[in-house]
Structure 1
Amino acid sequence: MELRHLRYFIAVVEEGSMTVAAEKRLHTSQPSLSRQIRDLEYEVGAQLLVRTARGIEMTDAGKAFLDHARLALAQAEAAREAARRAARPLKPTLAVGFLSGQEVTWLARASLALASDLQNIEMTVSSEHSPDLAEGLSMGRLDVAFMRAESGHAELEYITVATEPFVVVMPSDHRLTAHKKVDVRELADELFIGGSDVAGPMRDAIERYLADNDLQITPAHRVHNLTMAMSLIASTRGVALLPAYAEKLLPWSVASRPLKGEPPTIDLVIGYNRTNRSPILELFLSRTDQLIEP
C-alpha cells in the first residue's frame, strides 16, 4: 500500500465519482484509477467502495478506512515539512512593535539600521497601543518597541529617540484654524477631548501643561488613542492636544495648528526587556544612535 493509493481513495470519496476524480483531481485516466482502487482493496482485504445509482459510495469498511487514510496522509505531510525545516535552518527573528501610526516614520528607519543584516534576519512588525507594547515586551512576545515610556514595568529599559511637541487638533472649519498658532487659553471654553488612563504618558503631559498655564479644563471625553481622538473631534466638534505625529494621520475633516510659546512635549522611546538575551536585539540596540533624532 502506497500513499498514492490513499490519495486516490480520498479523491474518489470526496468527488463521489470515479470519472470526476480521475479527470479533475488526479489527472489520470478512469481505468487507471479503477485499477489503483482495486489494488488498494486487495491490500486491505475488503471492498471499500461500491457503485450505486447515486454514484460511488463507501461501504462500512470504506467508512472505517477513510479517517485513518486522511490521518496517514496528514502525518506524512507533517513529516515531510519537519524534514524540510530541519534541512533549512530558520532565520533569527526580531519582533518589532510600533505605537499605532509611528510605523509610518520609524519602520523605514528601523529597517535601515539593520540593512546590512536584513537578508539574514526575519523582522516581524506589529502596531499597537503603548500599554500593549509594554506588555508584549514583558511577556517576550516583542523584542523591541517604539512606544511611550510606560510606568509599572521595572524590567523594561527605554532609549529616547525623539521628542515631539503637542499641537492643537480641531475640526477643519473650526474658528481657531484662522490662527497660525493657537494660544492655549483659547481652549478654555471649548469642548475638550483628553487622554484616558490607557494613554497615561500623553494624559500626564497634557495635564501638566494645562496646570502650568493655570487652566482648569475638564475633558468632555477621554480617548485611548489617536483614532478615537480624530473620530470624536470630527463628530463632536471638540478640540484636543495631540503629539505632532498625529498630523500625518489627519482625515480631511480634521486640522491642526501649533501652540504659541513653548508647547508641551512627549518622548518617543525604544523599549526593550533587559532580560532579553537575543543577539539580534543586541545588534539592533548597538545601532540605535543611527535612529536618534538630533
Structure 2
Amino acid sequence: MELRHLRYFVAVAEEGSFTVAAERRLHTAQPSLSRQIRDLEYEVGTPLLSRSARGVELTAAGKAFLDHARLALSQVEAAGEAARRAATPAKTTFALGFLTGQEIDWLAEVMRTLRDELPLIEVTVQSQYSPSLADALLRGKLDLAFMRREPNMPDLAFKLVTREPLLVVLRSDHALAARKSIDPRALAKENFVQVSNTAPALRAVIDSYLKHHRLAITPVHEADNLAMAISLVASTRGVALLPVYALNFLPASVVSRPLKSVGPSKGEAPAIDLVVGYHKANASPLLKLFLSRMDEMVARVAQRAH
C-alpha cells in the first residue's frame, strides 16, 4: 500500500465523485484514478467505495478505512514538518513593544541596531498603551518596549530615549493657529480635549502643567488614544496638548503650535519622557546587546532631526 493510494481514496471520499477528485484535487486522469482505487481495494481485500445514482458512496468498510487513512496522511505530514524543523533550528525571538505610533520613528532604528543579528533572530512587534506594555514586560511577553516611565513597577528598569515636548494641537482654521506660539492661558477659553487614564503618565504631565499655570480647565472630551484626540480636535474645533510624535498622525486640517513660556520663571515647555523598559531579570543576550548600542541609536536619530 502506497501513500498515493491513501491520498486518492481520501480525495474521492471527500468529493463524492471520481471526476471531481481527478480534475480539481489530484490533477490526474479519471481512468488512472479508478485503477489506483481498485488496486487499493484489492490490497485491503474488500470494496471501499460504491457507485450509485447519487455519486460515489463509502461502504461500511470504506467509512472505517477513511478515518485511519486521514490519520496516516496527517502523521506523514507531521513527520515531514518535524524533519524540516530539525534541519532548520528555530530562530531566537526578540519581542518588541511600542507605545502606539512610536514604531514610526523607532522601529527602523531598532532593526538597524540589530542588523548583524537579524539573520539569526526573529523580531516580533506589537503596539499597545504604555500600561499594557509594562504588564507584558512583567509577564515575559516582551523583551523591550518603547513606552512611558510607568510608576510602581519595581521589577522594571527604564532607560531614557528622549524627552518629547508637548504641543498645542488645533484645527488649521482656528483663530489661535495664526500665532507662532500659544500662551497657555489662552487654552482656558477653548474646548479642551484631554487624554484619558489609558495614558496615565501623559495625563499626569498635562494636569501638572495646567495646575502650575493655575488654569482651571474642565475638559469637554477625553480621548483614549492619539487618533481619537486628533479626530475630536478636528470635529469639535477643540484644542489638545499632545507629544510631538503626534505630528506623524495630523491630517491637513489639523496643525500644531508650541507653547509660549510665560510667567516669572519662564520655564521649559512641558515634556514627557520616552523610555525603553525591560524586566530587570531578563537575561537575554539580545537585550544586553541592544542596550549596549542604544546610545548610538539615539544619537543617530537626534543628528537626523537637526
Distance 1:169 1:114 in 2: 35
1:202 alignment partner AA: L
Check whether the contact 1:202–1:266 (CA below 8 A) recurs between aligned residues: yes
Q: Is the 1:92–1:280 contact (alpha carbons within 8 Å) kept by the matching residues of 2?
A: no
For residue 164 of structure 2, give the secondary structure of its aligned residue in structure 1.
Answer: strand
In the other structure, the counterpart of 2:294 is 288
Following the alignment from structure 2 to structure 1, what is the Cα–Cα distance between the partners of residues 200 and 296?
28
The equivalent of 1:165 in structure 2 is 165
For the residues of structure 1 that align with 2:294 and 2:250, how far apart are their CA atoms? 29
Shift of 1:186: 0.5
Check whether the contact 1:93–1:280 (CA below 8 A) recurs between aligned residues. Answer: no
1:64 & 1:253 partners in 2: Cα distance?
Answer: 68
For residue 291 of structure 1, report the CA deviation from its aligned partner: 2.4
Structure 2: stretches of 5+ with no match in the other structure: 262-267
Which of the numbers 273, 281, 285 marks the counterpart of 2:279? 273
SS class of match (2:198): helix
Q: Over aligned residue pairs, what C-alpha RMSD do you find?
A: 1.5
Residue 45 of structure 1 deviates from its aligned partner by 3.0
The residue that corresponds to 1:145 in the other structure is: 145
Per the alignment, residue 264 of structure 2 pairs with: none
1:121 corresponds to which residue? 121
Equivalent AA in structure 1 for residue 19 of structure 2: T
Partner in structure 2 of residue 112 of structure 1: 112
Is structure 2 residue 82 aligned with structure 1 residue 82? yes
Rounded to whole Å, the distance in 1 between the matches of 2:42 and 2:282 is: 59
Aligned AA for 1:13? Answer: A
Distance of aligned partners of 1:116 and 1:38 in 2 relative to their CA distance in 1, 3 Å threshold = same
1:83-135: CA deviations, max 9, x gaps? Answer: 11011111211111111111111011111111222222211111211111111
CA displacement 1:127-161 (0-9 Å, x = unmatched): 21111111111111111011111123221111101
| More deviation, 140-149/189-198 | 189-198
Tell me which residue corresponds to 2:97.
97
Q: Which moved more, 1:61-70 or 1:103-112?
A: 61-70
Mapped partners of 1:89, 1:143: distance in 2: 21
Map 1:1-294; keep pairs closer than 5 Å: 1-261=1-261, 262-293=268-299
**Residues 266-292 of structure 1: CA distance to partner in whole angstroms, max 9, x if unpaired?**
011011111111111111111111123
CA distance in 2, matches of 1:149, 1:79: 47
SS in 1 for 2:210: helix
**243-252 or 53-62, which deviates more:** 53-62
SS of corresponding position for 1:14:
helix
> Any conservation in 2 of the 1:166–1:265 contact (CA below 8 Å)?
yes
The code of the aligned residue for 2:272 comes to I
| CA apart distance, 1:46 | 2.6
Per the TM alignment, residue 74 of structure 1 is displaced from its structure 2 partner at its CA by 1.6
Amino acid at match of 1:287: R
Which deviates further from its counterpart, 142-151 or 284-293?
Answer: 284-293
Q: Deviations over 1:149-195 (max 9, x none)?
A: 11232211111011110000112221111111111110001111112
CA contact (8 A) 1:160 1:292 kept: no
d(CA) in 2 for partners of 1:152, 1:64:
61
In 2, the alpha carbon distance for the partners of 1:57 and 1:69 equals: 16
Give the TM-score normalised by structure 2: 0.91
Q: Is the CA contact 1:159–1:269 (under 8 Å) kept in the aligned structure 2? A: yes
Report the number of matched residues: 294
| Cα distance, 1:202 vs structure 2 | 0.2
Contact 1:199 1:223 in 2 (8 A): no
Q: Which amino acid aligns with 1:76?
A: V
Give distance in 2, aligned partners of 1:95 and 1:9.
Answer: 45
Q: 55-64 or 130-139, which moves further after superposition?
A: 55-64
**Structure 1 runs of 4+ with >4 Å offset:** none
